[in-house]
A = this chain, B = another copy of it.
Amino acid sequence: MRIVVLAGGIGGARFLRGLQRAVPDADITVIGNTGDDIHLFGLKVCPDLDTVMYTLGGGINEEQGWGRADETFHLKEELAAYGLGPEWFGLGDRDFATHIVRTQMLGAGYPLSAVTEALCDRWKPGVRLIPMSDDRVETHVAVTLPERDPAGAAGERKVIHFQEYWVRLRASVPAEAIVPVGAEQAKPAPGVLEAIAGADVILFPPSNPVVSVGTILAVPGIREAIAEAGVPVVGLSPIVGDAPVRGMADKVLAAVGVESTAAAVAEHYGSGLLDGWLVDTVDAGSVERVEAAGIRCRAVPLMMSDLDATARMAREALALAEEVRTP
């Protein structure tokens, strides 16, 4: 079975681990979000790709869900001592190596997809991980600054990098607009459209529907390829009981005019894209609304509390895919 998964960071990576457990022999291609990529200290940092790679490759800091296990932060401390920030972005000593290798390879002319493949040669994540695009796409967020913010005067309207919004400001102010800068001009990375066209099933894990899956879908050609693939497309709600399971998806859903409910997210993707949708059992009441939108819906436990629970979610998603495949 060939499965294509559109993945953001932590939620996507953890779901993938469950999917691998559920179907160990499946051929899984992950199309990774690069919209939260950022250049720091002259290095190209790809947080979502790395979270997937480290999680599936056994190098992740399990507790925080991102970054490396057994990590130290001496380099970052020293950069701060030189007055070089940002201090709010947690780059550890081990993690730096990934960014140095990536930056060197990019500088030598390799596209990000080839670099990602080279990095995965070490980590052996058990999936084929492809960035959504080799072109630079960076999500920016329009905000009205709180008082006394380093980014500008109080009350000033600024467009800041997604990481600054997400990590430094912790989404503490409303996102007024979310712009995946460069997405319109970006092309899908080599292998992305081919993987979608060759898939038996396409899954949207409980990743952020706006800044993770949404950004991948913003690369021209990807949404169309999924819609036209002619195979089941099934998603899992990242919203449980009207709140994100983790992260701050509600903050960015508001920016695109979508309410923070499992049903509203399904409608946001739409029946033109989505064939099936899993909501949590606490949201069983919304199944009818989702199905009214033309999307087959089931209510099952959606908390990725451990690997077994996550594998069960993956099995439910694949079962729903089979269900929509044979109408």
Contact = CB atoms under 8 A, between A and B. Distances in A.
A107 B72 contact: no
A83 interface: yes
Interface string A91-121: 0111011101101100100000000000100
A148 interface: no
A191 to B, nearest CB: 22
A78 B94 contact: yes
Contacts of A77: 94, 97
B100 A42 contact: yes
Given A83-B122, A122-B81, A104 B41 contact: yes
A74 interface: yes
Given A42-B107, A96-B96, A107-B42, A101 B82 contact: yes
Interface string A231-246: 0000000000000000
A41 B75 CA distance: 15
A151 interface: no
A272 to B, nearest CB: 42
Given A41-B104, A42-B100, A74-B92, 20 more contacts: A42-B103, A42-B107, A71-B74, A72-B72, A72-B74, A74-B74, A74-B93, A74-B94, A74-B97, A75-B93, A75-B100, A76-B97, A77-B97, A78-B96, A79-B100, A82-B97, A82-B98, A84-B101, A93-B93, A96-B96
